[in-house]
Amino acid sequence: MKQMPEFARRLPVGAEIAPGLGVHFRVWAPRRRRVEAVLETGAVTLAPEPGGYFSGFARNAAAGALYRFRLDGRAALFPDPASRFQPDGPHGPSQVIDPGAFTWTDAGWPGLALEGQVLYEMHIGTFTRQGTWAAAAEQLPELASLGITAIEVMPVADFAGAFGWGYDGVDLFAPTRLYGKPDDFRRFVDRAHAAGIGVVLDVVYNHLGPDGNYLKEFAADYFSPVANDWGEQINFDGPNSGPVREFYVSNAAYWISEFHLDGLRLDATQAIADNSQTHILVEIGRAARRAAGGRPILLICENEPQHTRMIRPFEEGGYGLDMLWNDDFHHSAKVALTGRREAYYSDYLGTPQELISAVRHGYLFQGQIYAWQGKRRGQPSFGLPLAAFVNYIQNHDQIANTARGHRIHALTSPGRLRAMTALLLLAPGTPMLFQGQEFAAATPFLYFADHKPELMRAIFEGRADFMRQFPSLRAPDMDGTLTIEPRTAFRKSVLDFADRVRNAPMYRLHRDLLRLRREDATIRLQRPGALEGAVLGPEALVLRWFGDKNDDRLLLVNLGPDLHFNPAPEPLLAPPYDKRWEKLLGTDDEVYGGIGTPKVETRAGWVLPGHAAVLMRPVDPPPDTLQREWLLEQETIALRKREKQDA
């Protein structure tokens, strides 16, 4: 038997350039007897390997070559399961990519630490009118100036059709051709790093899309016989699951190493079933960190049941990941802003205490009964860093789940939204904005996908069934809204950056709040013990940061009508010794679109303006103030004595 030349592969499967040897192909197809790589120049028969793999060299192939696989001599040709690019989409040929051809300039990039981040969820196809990596890159300096530290890009693994959210990806190693070529993605990341912004990629490891998924042609063992909410479950623990695990683990490492990404956001981790001794998420996390080569990255989970073991250390029985999306904060905030308590919002009151608890502890449900589901929800978060909880008042799902794609500013009052924005952006959890939120984008964000008519009908029937849990959405035009023409929904969702100017006060508020978060030494503390909170009224709360050398900060948030306190017997309102409170920022200031913030503390008591938040800092009182106040106190005491004697 002819000995194969030595070649060190980067990935276990796929097509890789072998200098001086051509291109090396390797694929897992355990139930196939013969596998050929079919190129425009001819076919190459791959040699079988133990474990169901096939591999071989195409001597005359190079970067840019198009290829497919032929299985067992059949006429049909299939794209590579580990294709690095599909120039014509999932149904077309795969293309050989040279990941080393791009010249990086980010050697000094430090990576992303857990603390100090401000996330920005972005859908590349609707972020700009062009919908490309190149166009999105032009906006990076503006995002950096705003105060964004990391972009969380919605999934880009290639999917069928001309547009979509990306959660129905089928080619997990191939960044979709819709936004540009792989090197355009690399250039976006390189330019983001130059602007001081990290890039985290949303990846979907719980299912594959329904159109263009050819994995079963190579191995049915990619999938479990058990289905989840999105379709066939991935086989991470059944028979012949070893190569499947290897496929997904190497995919996570691939994005980090070949695209210099700063982390991954793992979609719907509760749907990733694995009873192995070492959970697949642990292996994914370890591989991603190895691929980063010592550069800190962030591994973020979406986990609907709120299992905090995802982010606990290995030695505590956790999975060793970093962050969790916090739906509890969102749900409570939305109820507070809108008053609507339907469906999965029904277990939330939107009270000040809920908001304080979410800010101070992360999750609200940490093992209590959750009536909406009729079971216990969540695990304890005590001892976890507050920065590990990603807080938001908007994301792609929650906006689209209004059916009409209404953003939160269309569902509440401007004052309430400004006040809640202050709470979101100043609280010690990690805040996340959804694209356009910072300037109250007039464009909606709708559900859109470009599938075959019969598949679209099934998708929209499923969404219509989901929406029936919201009574307020049962309007006469509801069916028409849910079946809106997909291309129209896509186009309506594209941002218009002219809204930055039209809604300049809201944009200025976000910029100023993020500047305070970044520059204020007390506010940027994200340690749990540095923050206390108290309820001041039915819709009002106070948060107090305890800084070094009595440099405290006080945030008053009032989502209801004006409140007056005289006296104000709440210890958190008391200034540090020999200090007085001074306004640092008021969300009702005229520069933010309000009517002006009144003086909060006066001799007549405290005044909390309605639908507003006020941030305060301690200052030294004016000269002789303490002496005057002492004299006033003596006069008051003497007056009380005279009144008592007269009585």
pLDDT of the residue at 403: 75
**Does 14-95 match 529-625 in CATH topology?**
yes
Q: Given a cut of 80, is residue 509 above it in pLDDT?
A: yes
CA distances from 224 to 137, 231, 236, 239 (A): 39, 10, 8, 9
Kindly report the CA angle at 443 between 596 and 261, in degrees rounded to 5? Answer: 100
Strands 531-537 and 430-434: unpaired
> What does the block give as tokens for 42?
């001819």
Query: Rounded distance, CA 163 to CA 184, Å?
Result: 18
Q: Return the SS3 of 77.
A: strand
> What does the block give as tokens for 441?
């984008």
DSSP secondary structure of 490-531 = HHHTS--TTHHHHTHHHHHHHHHHHHHHHH-TTTT---GGGE
The answer to whether the CB of 514 falls within 8 A of the CB of 118 is yes
Residues 23-72 pLDDT 10s: 999 999 999 999 999 999 999 999 999 999 999 999 999 999 999 999 99
Instruction: Tell me which of 579 and 644 has the higher pLDDT.
Output: 579
Kindly report the CA angle at 643 between 638 and 644, in degrees rounded to 5? Answer: 95
CATH number at 119-514: 3.20.20.80
Q: 14-95, what's its fold?
A: Immunoglobulin-like (2.60.40)
* Length of the chain, in residues: 647
Q: Given a cut of 90, is residue 106 above it in pLDDT?
A: yes
Confidence of residue 322 (pLDDT cuts 50, 70, 90): very high
Query: Rounded distance, CA 234 to CA 271, Å?
Result: 9
Q: Given a cut of 50, is residue 619 above it in pLDDT?
A: yes
Select from 391, 338, 340 the least CA-distant residue to 364.
Answer: 391
The answer to whether the CB of 84 falls within 8 A of the CB of 99 is yes
Confidence of residue 1 (pLDDT cuts 50, 70, 90): very low
Residue whose entry in the numeric block shows the structure tokens 């069916």 = 479
Count other Cβ atoms within 10 Å, centred on residue 580. Answer: 16
> Quick one: average pLDDT of 299-322?
97
> What does the block give as tokens for 85?
């690019």
Q: What is the pTM of this model?
A: 0.94
pLDDT of the residue at 628: 60
CA distances from 31 to 12, 50, 86, 224, 235 (A): 18, 12, 25, 16, 16
Q: Given a cut of 60, is residue 248 above it in pLDDT?
A: yes
* DSSP 8-state symbol, 46: P
Query: Rounded distance, CA 393 to CA 431, Å?
Result: 9
Domain ranges of the chain: 14-95, 119-514, 529-625
pLDDT of the residue at 231: 83
Instruction: Specify the DSSP element, H or E, that contains 370.
Output: strand 368-370
pLDDT of the residue at 480: 43
pLDDT of the residue at 635: 66
Confidence of residue 587 (pLDDT cuts 50, 70, 90): very high
pLDDT of the residue at 4: 56
Confidence of residue 230 (pLDDT cuts 50, 70, 90): confident
pLDDT of the residue at 123: 98
Q: 529-625, what's its fold?
A: Immunoglobulin-like (2.60.40)
Q: Given a cut of 80, is residue 174 above it in pLDDT?
A: yes
Catalytic residue numbers, as ranges? 267, 302
Q: Given a cut of 70, is residue 578 above it in pLDDT?
A: yes
Query: Which of these ranges, 261-265, 456-460, 603-607, has the smallest mean pLDDT?
Result: 456-460
> What does the block give as tokens for 354?
């809920």
Confidence of residue 208 (pLDDT cuts 50, 70, 90): very high
Residues 341-383 pLDDT 10s: 999 999 999 999 999 999 999 999 999 999 999 999 999 999 9
Query: Which of these ranges, 181-190, 434-443, 452-461, 535-544, has the smallest mean pLDDT?
Result: 452-461
- Radius of gyration of the chain from Cα atoms? 28
Residues 457-503 pLDDT 10s: 887 777 777 777 877 765 444 444 455 789 999 999 999 999 999 99
Instruction: Tell me which of 412 and 475 has the higher pLDDT.
Output: 412
Residues 378-396 pLDDT 10s: 999 999 999 999 999 999 9
What are the E-state strand segments in 19-129? 22-28, 35-39, 42-45, 47-48, 53-58, 66-71, 77-78, 94-95, 119-122
Query: Rounded distance, CA 193 to CA 556, Å?
Result: 36
The answer to whether the CB of 572 falls within 8 A of the CB of 579 is no
Confidence of residue 398 (pLDDT cuts 50, 70, 90): very high
Instruction: Tell me which of 624 and 151 has the higher pLDDT.
Output: 151
**Sign of the Cα pseudo-torsion (396, 398, 403, 406, in order):** negative
pLDDT of the residue at 215: 97
Query: In the chain, pLDDT over 90 holds for what percent of residues?
Result: 85
Q: Dihedrals φ, ψ of 38, to 5°?
A: -105, 115
pLDDT of the residue at 30: 97
Q: Given a cut of 70, is residue 285 above it in pLDDT?
A: yes
Query: Rounded distance, CA 475 to CA 471, Å?
Result: 9
Q: Given a cut of 60, is residue 294 above it in pLDDT?
A: yes
Residues 131-164 pLDDT 10s: 999 999 999 999 999 999 999 999 999 999 999 9
Confidence of residue 304 (pLDDT cuts 50, 70, 90): very high
